[in-house]
Structure 1
Amino acid sequence: MVDSTIEAEIRNGGGTHWIETIIVTRLDWLWPKICRGREQIDGIKIDVQGMEIQVLHGMLQLLSKWKPKLIIEFHSGVDRDKLLNLVESAGYNPHGISIEPTEGETEAQYINDRSYLFLK
């Protein structure tokens, strides 16, 4: 499932709804086809409503080759330990920097719907 929000709306009979066909692919595969000769990637923002781990798996080659700044928005239902271990295995510091810290947040708390920066 690409978007659990859409699925929940359909399942719960919430108002008018439609179904979209969405093509899912790996950024490692897609990027060389669309980069128009400029392969280097300086930064990536991931906001995928619970599919963060799957998205990271699909871009591990690009992360390894270009070492872009990585911003990930965390969502409910995502295993924080698994995600942070994957970030670390890709060569990033697993201690993210909060882009929008809550009051008194001195260390990343990985709060739902908040973004965190990861650097190599």
Structure 2
Amino acid sequence: MRINGVDGPNAWWRCTENFESPLVLFIDSDQENCIFGQRGLYLRRIEEHTNTFIQLEQWFTASGQTRVTVVGPPQVKQWLEDMFRGISSENLYLHLLGLSMLWHVQERPLTSADLEDYFRMQS
């Protein structure tokens, strides 16, 4: 799996499996600001560092949730889903893990080695 390719014949968006079963979840506005910053300040950086496309849509719900749709490599989508769920978790360990994952993708690109280490730790 190639997740760091920005362009060329092996770029992530040229692989049709990356567009199957997009990750769709709903987050509260507080979580949206925590993850993506005010007005999506960190959105582009997170997309670049994970080689994904992330779409944010405001939904008219009682709690003012945002629909998050992620398209990209399956392992990266799972990693991001775990990050989102960790950040929203009331379990302190999972919450801190989610924040650590968020910091990682805000600061540097996610690599195949990062994914291997994470999924090995989850087993």
TM range (shorter): under 0.3
Q: Which has the larger radius of gyration?
A: 1
- Structure with more helix by fraction: 2
**TM-score in terms of structure 2 length:** 0.25
